[in-house]
Amino acid sequence: MLGKVINLSDWQTPFVLNRNLSVRSIVIVCIFVLFNNFSATLGADVLAENVLLLQIVALSMYMCDGVEYATASLTGNFQGQGTTHKFVPLLQIGLGTNMVIALGVGLAAVFFPDPIFHIFTNHSELVEAIKVYIPWVVLVVVGSGVAYILDGYFAGLGEGSAVRNTYLVSGSVGLIFLSLATFYFHSNHFLWLALFTFMLSCSLTMAIQIPMTLQSNEEKEVVANL
């Protein structure tokens, strides 16, 4: 009978991971809501321009999401099998795939802005006005593509706290930069710089933690093979 008793700690782990990943999702949503609200503060024209540009960002992020989920699943499988030496090739493939997706979407907007943005609006003057901001879109989608792969990697390891802490810190950085862009610089360019800074902060904060996870898991793999 004792062997059949449910171990509550086994059930607690996935709920804790889900809670930590939910914090990440909430931070991302809050940053984009603030981005839209601060855009409105700069004027109706800026808001309209940014809402249109965010359609491209959203498209890229949704496409990169699928690679993130695959990375999380494979990372968990490799860890369970003790084949942690596959982590680096997995990260390389995941990052490469998301770079292709992000650059493909971003550069399509750079080289074919008229046909692409006219899918979302028939206001030619609006499409002309946003062209100056399209390079920022490329930077943001590339930054999000990198961040999403690293999210998946740490989620697959069960390191939800690392993801949570990364997004809480980066979200605070993003909020500060968004506020400065709106209320000090009064510039849409700085607003996009703030959004890119948020994505870059997420990517860098998680990237510097990767060597520690590789070292820890390599030690476990050696012990398991003894």
User: pTM of the entire structure?
Assistant: 0.91
Residue 165: which H helix or E strand, with range? helix 160-183
Q: Per the structure block, which two tokens stand in for 121?
A: 């609006």
Tens of pLDDT along 135-181?
999 999 999 999 999 999 999 999 999 999 999 999 999 999 999 99
The average pLDDT across 77-88 equals 94
d(CA 149, CA 90): 10
How much is the average pLDDT of 125-132? 97
Percent of the chain beyond pLDDT 90? 86
* Confidence bin at 1 (pLDDT 50/70/90): very low
Phi and psi, residue 47, nearest 5°: -60, -45
Q: What is the mean pLDDT of the chain?
A: 92
pLDDT (average), residues 83-88: 94
Task: Please determine, for residue 219, whether its predicted confidence score (pLDDT) is greater than 90.
Answer: no
